[in-house]
């Protein structure tokens, strides 16, 4: 589904759904506490990159950077598996394209498998901050300054998976900086915050006319940051599975407007393989301030010393 417009701003719909958020809160707390009783403790350090919002904050490029630095495997659920992504999900496909070892499916089962190996390399968990059945050695939350906490309400009235107080469980925060900061967004001061900057690498010249399309949580982030001449923007639901017919319509539209088609890397892995040589994607790069890597490596070394 497309990200609801009330997720970023309180309106009548958000307030009308607020009572359901209370049921969501009670249910999620109950599940969290039950899972906590069966917590799995990994021999190898686990670094979890998560969020307290429902998608769209930009974790995947960060996970890719960290996995490369540590030469570490990634465990993830593999959301929205499809034939186009080799039945592993778009995010997993993106990571595997960079020769990162990705384990998709039940996280605990994959962790048990990885812990049978002799390696002491850390394991990266993409998402899972709310999964209390696995003990994380390091938890890093990712926030986008332009999205902030959205409208501040829990699902389904807002984008929050947990109350803001859940931030206290994190060891650090990566804050993706934006020109426009969402109002009423403030992070706690007792947790290290490392700033990051996103940049889109457009495969076309700035003067080239492009039709940009995206099926991600917040497509406007992509549309606003691509350094290309966009003549039309087309949004699809998050993790949208493109059909042959969808792509043919886009190609016809591009021909009519004498424009090129451009999408995100996450969308590109979801389009039919026959069309991938006709459509290019804009690569998203995330640069985190240097002292974050020093902080993280120090943490991992300390954990390995304690475990071994």
Q: Report helix, strand or coil for 62.
A: helix
pTM of the model: 0.92
Q: Which of 53-62, 76-85, 211-220, 267-276 has the lowest mean pLDDT?
A: 76-85
Tokens of 92: 């997993």
Q: Report helix, strand or coil for 45.
A: coil
pLDDT tens profile 81-115: 555 545 567 889 999 999 999 999 899 999 999 99
The pLDDT of residue 288 is above 70: yes
Tell me the C-alpha distance between 137 and 185, whole Å. 27
**What pLDDT is attached to residue 21?**
97
pLDDT tens profile 208-246: 999 999 999 899 999 999 988 999 999 999 989 999 999
The pLDDT of residue 266 is above 60: yes
Which helix (H) or strand (E) element contains residue 253?
helix 244-256
Q: What percent of the chain has pLDDT over 70?
A: 96
**What pLDDT is attached to residue 307?**
76
Write the CA distances from 193 to 7, 24, 98, 142, 300, integer angstroms: 24, 29, 27, 10, 18
Domains in the chain: ranges and CATH: 5-198+287-307 (3.40.50.300), 200-286 (3.40.50)
């Amino acid at each position: 589904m497309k990200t609801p417009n009330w997720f970023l701003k309180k309106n009548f719909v958000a307030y009308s759904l607020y009572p359901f958020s209370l049921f969501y809160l009670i249910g999620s707390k109950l599940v969290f506490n039950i899972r906590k009783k069966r917590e799995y403790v990994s021999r190898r350090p686990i670094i979890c990159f998560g969020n307290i919002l429902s998608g769209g904050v930009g974790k995947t490029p960060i996970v890719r950077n960290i996995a490369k630095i540590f030469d570490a495997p990634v465990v993830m659920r593999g959301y929205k598996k499809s034939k186009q992504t080799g039945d592993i999900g778009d995010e997993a496909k993106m990571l595997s394209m960079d020769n990162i070892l990705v384990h998709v499916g039940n996280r605990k089962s994959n962790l048990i498998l990885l812990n049978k190996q002799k390696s002491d390399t850390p394991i990266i968990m993409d998402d899972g901050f709310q999964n209390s059945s696995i003990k994380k050695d390091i938890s890093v939350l990712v926030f986008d300054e332009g999205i902030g906490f959205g409208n501040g309400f829990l699902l389904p009235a807002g984008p929050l998976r947990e109350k803001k107080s859940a931030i206290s469980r994190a060891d650090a925060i990566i804050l993706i900086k934006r020109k426009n900061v969402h109002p009423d967004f403030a992070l706690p001061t007792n947790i290290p915050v490392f700033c990051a900057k996103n940049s889109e690498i457009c495969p076309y010249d700035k003067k080239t006319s492009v039709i940009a399309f995206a099926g991600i949580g917040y497509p406007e982030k992509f549309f606003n940051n691509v350094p290309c001449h966009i003549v039309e923007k087309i949004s699809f639901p998050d993790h949208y599975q493109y059909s042959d017919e969808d792509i043919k319509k886009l190609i016809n539209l591009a021909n009519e407007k004498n424009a090129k088609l451009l999408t995100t890397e996450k969308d590109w892995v979801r389009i039919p393989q026959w069309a991938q040589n006709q459509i290019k994607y804009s690569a998203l790069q995330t640069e985190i301030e240097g002292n974050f890597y020093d902080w993280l490596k120090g943490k991992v070394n300390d954990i390995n010393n304690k475990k071994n």
